[in-house]
């Protein structure tokens, strides 16, 4: 284990079933697999929980509680702006982009090289709750 790495991300979503379908495809592309959350954990948390485990981390989803169920994520407010997933090549970013188009995902910015760092190649998109996500190939991280 490396100190400071992300262990898990817990997301709150507006429509759990729509988000489940979306994240099954998206996280599946990155090598995550959905697992079972024990009922005792869901009872303790007082909410339905879905979880995917992947390369060294996990992602969980829970439904938004009333009165927030119909409010989309606001990335310019305090909280999460966006979440980025690393890919190992520009071709992987392009393949992922094809998956996003196949599932009808809203694309914010098509795959392109961005000036954030040399070779930074990414696609930006939204999940069903309006959470901004990114898939990125960044060659500097290969070393």
Tokens of 21: 């379908």
Q: Do residues 46 and 91 both lie within one domain?
A: no
Q: What pLDDT does 2 receive?
A: 72
Q: What pLDDT does 4 receive?
A: 86
Q: Do residues 48 and 25 both lie within one domain?
A: yes
Q: Do residues 90 and 135 both lie within one domain?
A: yes
Cβ neighbours around 102 below 10 Å, total: 9
Q: What is the CATH number of the domain that holds 59?
A: 3.10.180.10
Q: Which of 141, 29, 139, 124 is nearest to 82 (CA)?
A: 124
Q: What pLDDT does 3 receive?
A: 80
In a domain, 73, yes or no: no
The rounded distance, in Å, linking the Cα atoms of 60 and 81 is 17
- Pair 93, 73: CB distance under 8 Å: no
Tens-binned pLDDT, residue by residue, of the chain (143 aa): 578 888 999 999 999 999 999 999 999 999 999 999 999 999 999 999 999 999 889 999 999 998 888 898 999 999 999 999 999 999 999 999 999 999 999 999 999 999 999 999 999 999 999 999 999 999 975 55
């Amino acid at each position: 284990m490396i100190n400071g790495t992300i262990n898990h991300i817990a997301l709150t979503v507006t429509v759990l079933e729509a988000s489940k379908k979306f994240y099954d495809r998206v996280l599946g592309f990155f090598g995550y697999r959905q697992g079972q959350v024990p009922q005792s954990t869901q009872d303790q948390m007082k909410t339905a929980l879905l979880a995917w485990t992947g390369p060294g981390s996990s992602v969980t989803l829970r439904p938004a509680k009333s009165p927030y169920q119909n409010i989309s994520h606001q990335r310019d407010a305090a909280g999460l702006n966006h979440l980025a997933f690393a890919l190992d090549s520009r071709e992987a970013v392009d393949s992922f982009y094809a998956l996003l188009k196949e599932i009808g995902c809203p694309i914010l910015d098509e795959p392109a090289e961005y000036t954030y760092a040399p070779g930074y190649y990414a696609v930006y998109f939204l999940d069903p709750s309006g959470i901004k996500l990114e898939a990125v190939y960044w060659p500097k991280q290969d070393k």
